[in-house]
Structure 1
Amino acid sequence: MKIKFLTKKMFRRRPSEFISVQTDNFLRKLKSRPFFTEYISNVFMKNVKPNITDKSLTLSVLTDSHEKAVASASYYGLNGVRHIIEANEASDKLPVDYNIHLGDMIDGSDKPEISRGLLQFTMENYQKSIHPFFVLEGNHDENDKYDEHKFVNSASFGRDDYYNIVTKADFEQPEIKRLNSVSKVAWIDKGDIRVIFLNTSDIPYILNGGTKKYDFKKVRGIREQQLDDLISILEKTVDKHVVVFGHANLISPAGRSALNFNGDLVQQIFTSFNNKDIGELKNELSGDFGVDLHFNFTDTGISKISNYICGHMHYEKYFKVAGINHIILNCSALMGKQHGLTTDYNKKWDRRYNEISELAGYFININPDKMLLQIFGYGAATRFVSFEI
């Protein structure tokens, strides 16, 4: 059943965006379900905690929650919001280092005021949690799905809407590092471990007659400035175990770009870094996605990029290209088996509301003592898989 919200004329003003009063009031009534928080905690205590050491880094990871203002018991809806509330509440009582969301927090198909309200409410939940957090941008998070479906003549999200609600909160935390105030590449460190976050929705916000030149939902890419920042960070990464996270998969198992723009160039940076190369990074494009850069990875010691982890595809998959594991995690959003867009992977789980299969989340432990990246899934997720670092 659809939840009714007030019209735009009835909004109250918040510091950076308009949010429906009724949307806000309804969301604040959402509470965690003890069964689910206890289940998540028990998974951690039984499977994850025995593998934690002083040197290891442990992350609570969700992706593709696809929040919508719909009380759905079989598909995308407010269950995505509740899953985040429950995962963060469980993590508050656990020795987790960071709470991570890999993007597509919202489905981006609601009215803009409602989508902004969902983003704001969810970010407040991350900000109130005990652990530091990082939320990546997904291709749904700019609300372009709404624009597509409604055939509107103007972009429903402004240029800075997502930044003001989500990205700004990410970088207000001292634990989250970046090269400068405009860089889209972030990283965190713990001992010999470095985790880097890339924005695979690095698409220019350009309006042509009020509509966007690029549909953020359909176009995924990484531009030259982000690649330059990644190179700069890696050139100064010495004797580190490096793991990279993004929203969308960079390349296919055959090594071809899985992004519309420059996914293969990111893979080239990864392999050049591992090989301690000096060289040039260049494509045949010009304009918005043209690239012409140089790198020198000769002074990085024993550093190695071992794994790239993402969501986006709504299934699980693992493959290796040029010595680097590419790991795709399942969506946290409920995907009932009767829906047309539900992937075969999720149909096999037969995911159901108020059952364990409703959820899909992960604890990821990077352990330099064991030289392993260990992934512990719960709900509609593989229970355990490990990769070398």
Structure 2
Amino acid sequence: MKIKNITGKIFSPRRSEIVSTQTDNFFRKLKPRPYVVDYIEGVYKNSVLPNVNQDTLTISVLTDTHAKAIASASYYGINGMRHIIEANQVATDVGLDLNVHLGDLMDGSDKPEISRGILKFAVENYQKSKPPFYIIEGNHDENDKYDEHRFFKTASFHRDDYDMLVAKYDFEQPEIFRLNQVSKVGWYDKGDVRIIFIDTSDIPYILSNGSKKYDFKKVRGVREQQLEDLTTILEQSVDKHVVVMGHANIISPSGRSALNFNGDLVQQLLVAFNNKASGQLKNELTGDFGVDIRYDFSSTGISKVTTYICGHMHYEKNYKVSEINHIILNCSALMGKKHGLTMDYNKKWDRRYNEISELAGYFINIDPKKLRLQIFGYGAATRYVSFEI
């Protein structure tokens, strides 16, 4: 399968603005494919709409679109951006409550000026869609995959690139809240339902001789300040049905941390919240990932965290640990059956370019009266599953 770079030969660092502009112009030529939009809207109208009402919360969810500036019919490429454009068109057409991207918006393997262009265009597309949106940072979204592939490793993204291109626009919306101007934890409310967004790529940007101390693609974690903010938000969540979303899974089915740092502490905090407990959250680490905080969830009424939803793993799975549902959603990016890096889960779907299996996405509905969370999948995704909340 031939792969063509869309920006041709314009790759000189001295012409970075030209490369970024050409990339941006290329993506602007992409339009929603009518047959894809019709298919997704059909899923919503025939499967979702009969099972929801205005008192519930309905969300469009994509994850791991891994957009790249190449035209590929077998693996990652511009198909990821197409999926964003098409899902956002449907979200506007049918009037959903919220648009969520669970991270790895891009693959992070393009030159930095191209990757910045990808992030910029994607955010602009979310802004054009009518529902409010939240884009979570994934482990590919700091462009470290490109850094790994260079003979001389240097940081291709600056410290604030992702925040200035993506995160700041999450929080410019009046429907999205955070505690302060630097908090990495956001939330969205509708009635008695609260969605909390955490950053599982909460890794310090520390340079040593031009290279990062931590590889954002390989290292996932949550630091003390984010846990403090999450604690404060939970302490203020009174009589709420709480669902938490992040990019990577925080714990395994056995209850072990699935992050390099402090995934188990996030789980412990959520369990303490459900138990209306007061106490101390602490680990044995010092330095970048040391944690020592206090919490008091004794005044949160009937609030409960029932579910943690993420992507990252490029397959579907769900399991329950300490009465909390952990749900992993499949990647939206194309993973062709014959590609060497394709996960077995996606090989079984036999995903093909320009067919419905090319994409994968979800509608998630939360019904606080029926105490039910429903997931409606389309493309290479399970068609329906529901959970008690």
Same fold (TM over 0.5): yes
* Segments ≥4 residues shifted beyond 6 Å: none
Q: Secondary structure at the match of 1:243?
A: strand
Aligned residue number for residue 317 of structure 1? 317
Aligned residue number for residue 3 of structure 1? 5
Aligned residue number for residue 46 of structure 1? 46
Q: With structure 1 as the length reference, what TM-score do the two structures score?
A: 0.97
What is the CA–CA distance in structure 2 between the aligned matches of 1:4 and 1:304, rounded to whole Å? 48
Tell me: CA distance 1:4–1:383, structure 2 relative to 1, closer, same or farther (3 Å). Answer: closer
The one-character-per-residue Cα deviations of 1:218-274 (angstroms, maximum 9, x if unpaired) are 000000000000000001110000000000000000000000000000000011000
Aligned residue number for residue 95 of structure 1? 95
CA RMSD of aligned residues (A): 1.0
Aligned residue number for residue 15 of structure 1? none
Q: Secondary structure at the match of 1:10?
A: helix
* 1:365 corresponds to 2:370: no
Aligned sequence identity (%): 70
* 1:268 corresponds to 2:268: yes
Deviation at 1:32, TM superposition (A): 1.1
Structure 1 residues not aligned, in runs of 5+: 13-17
Q: Is the 1:61–1:102 contact (alpha carbons within 8 Å) kept by the matching residues of 2?
A: yes
What is the CA–CA distance in structure 1 between the aligned matches of 2:345 and 2:42, rounded to whole Å? 25
Deviation at 1:160, TM superposition (A): 0.5
Aligned residue number for residue 187 of structure 2? 187
The one-character-per-residue Cα deviations of 1:135-185 (angstroms, maximum 9, x if unpaired) are 000000000000101133320000001111000111110100000000000
Q: Is the 2:95–2:130 contact (alpha carbons within 8 Å) kept by the matching residues of 1?
A: no
Aligned residue number for residue 58 of structure 2? 58
Between stretches 346-355 and 22-31, larger displacement belongs to 22-31
Deviation at 1:10, TM superposition (A): 2.6
What is the CA–CA distance in structure 2 between the aligned matches of 1:11 and 1:359, rounded to whole Å? 31
Aligned residue number for residue 104 of structure 2? 104
What is the CA–CA distance in structure 2 between the aligned matches of 1:152 and 1:372, rounded to whole Å? 51
* 1:253 corresponds to 2:258: no
Q: 1:264-303 counterparts in 2 under 5 A?
A: 264-303=264-303
Tell me: CA distance 1:19–1:59, structure 2 relative to 1, closer, same or farther (3 Å). Answer: farther
Q: Which amino acid aligns with 1:93?
A: D
Deviation at 1:50, TM superposition (A): 1.3
What is the CA–CA distance in structure 1 between the aligned matches of 2:269 and 2:45, rounded to whole Å? 37
Q: Is the 1:19–1:116 contact (alpha carbons within 8 Å) kept by the matching residues of 2?
A: no
Q: Which amino acid aligns with 1:9?
A: R
What is the CA–CA distance in structure 2 between the aligned matches of 1:289 and 1:25, rounded to whole Å? 41
What is the CA–CA distance in structure 1 between the aligned matches of 2:21 and 2:173, rounded to whole Å? 28
Q: Is the 1:58–1:363 contact (alpha carbons within 8 Å) kept by the matching residues of 2?
A: yes
Deviation at 1:41, TM superposition (A): 0.4
Deviation at 1:8, TM superposition (A): 3.1
What is the CA–CA distance in structure 2 between the aligned matches of 1:162 and 1:21, rounded to whole Å? 18
The one-character-per-residue Cα deviations of 1:9-64 (angstroms, maximum 9, x if unpaired) are 2344xxxxx86221121111111100000100000001111122222100000000
Q: Secondary structure at the match of 2:257?
A: coil
Q: With structure 2 as the length reference, what TM-score do the two structures score?
A: 0.97
Q: Is the 2:6–2:71 contact (alpha carbons within 8 Å) kept by the matching residues of 1?
A: no
What is the CA–CA distance in structure 2 between the aligned matches of 1:55 and 1:160, rounded to whole Å? 38
Aligned residue number for residue 120 of structure 1? 120
Q: Which amino acid aligns with 1:209?
A: N
What is the CA–CA distance in structure 2 between the aligned matches of 1:178 and 1:246, rounded to whole Å? 15
Q: Secondary structure at the match of 2:189?
A: strand
What is the CA–CA distance in structure 1 between the aligned matches of 2:151 and 2:193, rounded to whole Å? 46
* 1:337 corresponds to 2:332: no
The one-character-per-residue Cα deviations of 1:284-314 (angstroms, maximum 9, x if unpaired) are 0000000000100000000000000000000
What is the CA–CA distance in structure 1 between the aligned matches of 2:15 and 2:281, rounded to whole Å? 51
Aligned residue number for residue 37 of structure 2? 37
Aligned residue number for residue 382 of structure 2? 382
What is the CA–CA distance in structure 2 between the aligned matches of 1:90 and 1:273, rounded to whole Å? 36
What is the CA–CA distance in structure 2 between the aligned matches of 1:151 and 1:202, rounded to whole Å? 26
Q: Which amino acid aligns with 2:92?
A: D
What is the CA–CA distance in structure 2 between the aligned matches of 1:280 and 1:2, rounded to whole Å? 54
Q: Secondary structure at the match of 1:259?
A: coil
Q: Which amino acid aligns with 1:255?
A: G
The one-character-per-residue Cα deviations of 1:325-378 (angstroms, maximum 9, x if unpaired) are 000000000000111211110000000001110010000000112110000000
Q: Is the 1:2–1:69 contact (alpha carbons within 8 Å) kept by the matching residues of 2?
A: no
Q: Is the 1:8–1:20 contact (alpha carbons within 8 Å) kept by the matching residues of 2?
A: no
What is the CA–CA distance in structure 2 between the aligned matches of 1:83 and 1:225, rounded to whole Å? 34
What is the CA–CA distance in structure 1 between the aligned matches of 2:152 and 2:193, rounded to whole Å? 46
What is the CA–CA distance in structure 2 between the aligned matches of 1:153 and 1:53, rounded to whole Å? 52
Instruction: Count matched residues.
Output: 384
